[in-house]
Chain A
Amino acid sequence: MTEILSVKQLTRNFGGLAAVSNVSMHLTQGELVGLIGPNGAGKTTVFNLLSGIYPPSSGTITFTRGEKVRELGGRKPHSICRAGVGRTFQNIRLFKDLTVLDNVSIALQPNEPNSLLASFLHLSSHQSAEVRIREQSLELLDIVHLRDKAGELARNLSYGEQRHLEIARALATRPTLLLLDEPAAGMNPAETSGLTDLIAWVRKEFDLTVLLIEHDMSLVMRICERIYVLDHGIVIASGTPTEVQANPKVIEAYLGEEVD
């Protein structure tokens, strides 16, 4: 099994504060790995580093897709996305004033040709691209059961629906590696269960590797094959769910937090 993501000694400082310190992780193709830790541990910062929102202060992020091996550190988000890394956000970042369909179309369109001239004159190449984009967007919306709401504005969806739309949008970028940042946040147990199934299904269907930040332990323990535990910006433990659950350092880090 090929290694798809190799993170070595990743560090990010903000002023005097080390948000993430010498974090090393690796993911092999097809794995579903969890990233957990108490609030403020630096999990979202790791995601932001992986997806290019901040550059690393030091350390490397090596991403392999097929034959291509790329260093992601320092690249801009759109370039990392094109390389095959998709993500969702902890605080949903949808295009609220656009329709559900458009939210997905925007993520799909970089894969279609778009000459400026064709756009200005609505030439047939533009027309056929639009048709393809629309069809593919609707297919993705089907997966998250939002096809019938395609014409709705994203702001009008329920919270759970918005989370699903974000996942559909991330999938539209045709990723090899999917970063999910607390996808179940704010969901009730029934919704969480549905989401868990969706993530598992999507992983198999699209042949994805998934890295997942979550606080909901039922989700994490159910589908994650491996887990990294972060606290104060440092990896304090890693291993299978059972190993991590029994790890005294992990228990200590979570003391005072909710116990599952």
Chain B
Amino acid sequence: MQELIQQLINGLSLGSIYALIALGYTMVYGIIQLINFAHGDVYMVGAYVGYFCMARAHLGFFTSLVIAMLVCTVLGVVIERVAYKPLRNSTRIAVLITAIGVSLLLEYGMMFFVGPEVRAYPPMPGFMEASYNIGGVIIRAQQLLIIGISLILMIGLQYIVRRTKVGKAMRAVSQDADAARLMGINVDNTISLTFALGSALAGAAGVLVGVYYNSIDPLMGILPGLKAFVAAVLGGIGLIPGALIGGYVIGAVETLVAGYGFSMYKDAVVFAILIAVLMVKPTGLLGKNVREKV
């Protein structure tokens, strides 16, 4: 029982990371029906920015976090404007292929400029190295940090989406871009904002992962990106609460599978979940059925 709780706590941290990344996927898919393959690599860039801030510029953790989020925000918007916007009227396959291209560009560009080797994050200030023992279950301060920061960011996102005008614009464009345009909403800027928010969250996730797992490399975004996408699909693609639920479920499942001795198969299990969801209920746990109009 204790073991289970321990695993679940570990799963919460991982789940928070997946949820943060999944939110970006789901928002972008909700608004322009694109699987942004490059999103996982934005997360990777965030991790590197955090690294350079802390290891080279010797900035504090929270400062680095904010800088990473800012850089990723800009990166996300630039990608959208340069690579996706010209293809707004192209086929789905064309945009997907472009997204793959951008993803590869980020990965190998990073490899080219900073080298492929794995880097370690510098040691964290004392308060972040602590761990607490509660009834035999060990909770590390970093885990609380991840869960805490993730929750704050997600609440912030929820506030923006539900309570602000721009958030309303995002929801409107998701439902019907043409109608939104007719209502005077600047669709282009709304789409860019969506990318901005999602990328900011991914950047934050990157720094948190760098701190928690301590190692970063240019290809670190591929697998977590895919798994976060699975999380978004599981919860219900296009739905923000879905990304949250999906993220935590995938985080829990992966941790449990690894914790009970099958860690070589943990990735396969996540992909199997994807296949299962697509087979049984492609709209995800929270999704509704939508049919093409003939």
Q: Mark A192-213, 1 if CB is under 8 A from B, else 0.
A: 0000000000000000000000
- Measured CA separation A48–B291 after assembly (Å): 13
Q: Is residue B82 contacting chain A, with contact meaning CB distance below 8 A?
A: no
- Measured CA separation A218–B89 after assembly (Å): 39
Task: Please name all residues of chain B whose beta carbon is closer than 8 Å to the beta carbon of A54 when the two chains form the complex.
Answer: 291
Q: Is residue B294 contacting chain A, with contact meaning CB distance below 8 A?
A: yes
Task: Please name all residues of chain B whose beta carbon is closer than 8 Å to the beta carbon of A48 when the two chains form the complex.
Answer: 294
- Measured CA separation A23–B288 after assembly (Å): 27
Task: Please name all residues of chain A whose beta carbon is closer than 8 Å to the beta carbon of B294 when the two chains form the complex.
Answer: 44, 48, 53, 89
Q: Mark A1-45, 1 if CB is under 8 A from B, else 0.
A: 000000000000011000000000000000000000000000010
- Measured CA separation A14–B294 after assembly (Å): 13
Q: How far is the CB of A91 from chain B (nearest CB, A)?
A: 8
- Measured CA separation A54–B288 after assembly (Å): 17
Tally chain A residues at the interface, Cβ within 8 Å. Answer: 7
Chain B interface main SS type: loop
Q: Can you name the residue of chain A whose Cβ is closest to the Cβ of B289?
A: A15
Q: Can you name the residue of chain B whose Cβ is closest to the Cβ of A14?
A: B291
- Measured CA separation A65–B291 after assembly (Å): 31
Q: How far is the CB of A16 from chain B (nearest CB, A)?
A: 12
Task: Please name all residues of chain A whose beta carbon is closer than 8 Å to the beta carbon of B288 when the two chains form the complex.
Answer: 15
- Measured CA separation A205–B176 after assembly (Å): 47
- Measured CA separation A107–B117 after assembly (Å): 58
For window 253-294 of B, CB contacts with A under 8 Å fall at: 288, 291, 294
- Measured CA separation A14–B289 after assembly (Å): 10
- Measured CA separation A89–B291 after assembly (Å): 17
Q: Can you name the residue of chain B whose Cβ is closest to the Cβ of A53?
A: B294
- Measured CA separation A10–B291 after assembly (Å): 19
Q: Mark A86-106, 1 if CB is under 8 A from B, else 0.
A: 000100000000000000000
Q: How far is the CB of A97 from chain B (nearest CB, A)?
A: 12
Q: Can you name the residue of chain B whose Cβ is closest to the Cβ of A90?
A: B294
Q: Mark B160-177, 1 if CB is under 8 A from A, else 0.
A: 000000000000000000
Q: How far is the CB of A112 from chain B (nearest CB, A)?
A: 28
Q: Can you name the residue of chain A whose Cβ is closest to the Cβ of B292?
A: A53
Q: Mark A52-88, 1 if CB is under 8 A from B, else 0.
A: 0110000000000000000000000000000000000
- Measured CA separation A54–B291 after assembly (Å): 9
- Measured CA separation A54–B292 after assembly (Å): 10
- Measured CA separation A53–B291 after assembly (Å): 10
Q: How far is the CB of B276 from chain A (nearest CB, A)?
A: 24
Q: How far is the CB of B262 from chain A (nearest CB, A)?
A: 40
Task: Please name all residues of chain B whose beta carbon is closer than 8 Å to the beta carbon of A15 when the two chains form the complex.
Answer: 288
Q: How far is the CB of A172 from chain B (nearest CB, A)?
A: 20
Q: Can you name the residue of chain A whose Cβ is closest to the Cβ of B288?
A: A15
- Measured CA separation A83–B189 after assembly (Å): 51
Task: Please name all residues of chain A whose beta carbon is closer than 8 Å to the beta carbon of B291 when the two chains form the complex.
Answer: 14, 54
Q: How far is the CB of A155 from chain B (nearest CB, A)?
A: 15
- Measured CA separation A5–B294 after assembly (Å): 23
- Measured CA separation A53–B294 after assembly (Å): 8
Q: How far is the CB of A72 from chain B (nearest CB, A)?
A: 17
Q: Can you name the residue of chain B whose Cβ is closest to the Cβ of A54?
A: B291
Q: How far is the CB of B116 from chain A (nearest CB, A)?
A: 43
Q: How far is the CB of B109 from chain A (nearest CB, A)?
A: 36
- Measured CA separation A249–B215 after assembly (Å): 75
Interface residues of A (CB under 8 A from B): 14-15, 44, 48, 53-54, 89
7 contacts between A and B (CB under 8 A): A14-B291, A15-B288, A44-B294, A48-B294, A53-B294, A54-B291, A89-B294
Listed from nearest, the 7 A-B pairs whose CB atoms lie closest are A53-B294, A48-B294, A54-B291, A44-B294, A89-B294, A14-B291, A15-B288
